[in-house]
Amino acid sequence: AQSVSQHNHHVILSEAASLELGCNYSYGGTVNLFWYVQYPGQHLQLLLKYFSGDPLVKGIKGFEAEFIKSKFSFNLRKPSVQWSDTAEYFCAVSPYSSASKIIFGSGTRLSIRP
C-alpha cells in the first residue's frame, strides 16, 4: 500500500537554527509531492509542491525541498528558522495513477524557541 513516512514526530529548535524534516514515501510509480503546513489555529496550506523538472523546489517563507527519486525522499529544509515557523508540517504524495487523493504522512510538529 502507498504510504508516507515522516521521520520525526516533534522537533524543537532555537531561532536561526537550520531545519531539515525527513520524508520518505513508498510508491513505485510517478508521484506528485507536497509539503503542507498548519500554523496554530489556521487551515492546512500548501508550502511547496513538486510535479516534474528541477528536483530542488522552492516554496513560501524560505522553505525548499529536494526530491531524490532513488531514495524515495522529499526532505524539507530551511536554512534559518524563525519563531513564526512553529507549526505542524505534513509531507504528502499524490500518485499519478490515483490523482484524486493525497496521501499524507503523520506530521511533524515543529516548535521554535525564541
Partner 1 sequence: EAGVTQFPSHSVIEKGQTVTLRCDPISGHDNLYWYRRVMGKEIKFLLHFVKESKQDESGMPNNRFLAERTGGTYSTLKVQPAELEDSGVYFCASSQGLAGVYEQYFGPGTRLTVT
Residue 10 or 113: the one with the smaller Cβ distance to partner 1 is 10
For residues 23 and 38, give the distance between their C-alpha atoms in angstroms, rounded to a whole number: 17
Min. distance of Cβ 16 from partner 1 in angstroms?
Answer: 30
With the C-alpha atoms ordered 6, 7, 12, 14, is the resulting torsion angle positive or negative? negative
Q: Shortest approach of partner 1 to residue 34 CB, angstroms?
A: 9
- Residue 32 beta carbon to partner 1: minimum distance, rounded to whole angstroms: 4
- When the beta carbons of 81 and 93 are compared against partner 1, the nearer one is 93
Q: Which residues bind partner 1 (CB under 8 A)?
A: 4, 32, 36, 42-46, 49, 51, 90, 94-96, 98-107
- With respect to partner 1, which residue has the nearer C-beta, 51 or 83? 51
Instruction: Evaluate whether 28 touches 48 at the Cβ level (below 8 Å).
Output: no
- Cβ-contact 96, 25 below 8 angstroms: no
> Nearer to partner 1 by C-beta: 103 or 112?
103
Q: Exposed (0-12), middle (13-18) or buried (19+): which is 65, by Cβ within 10 Å?
A: buried
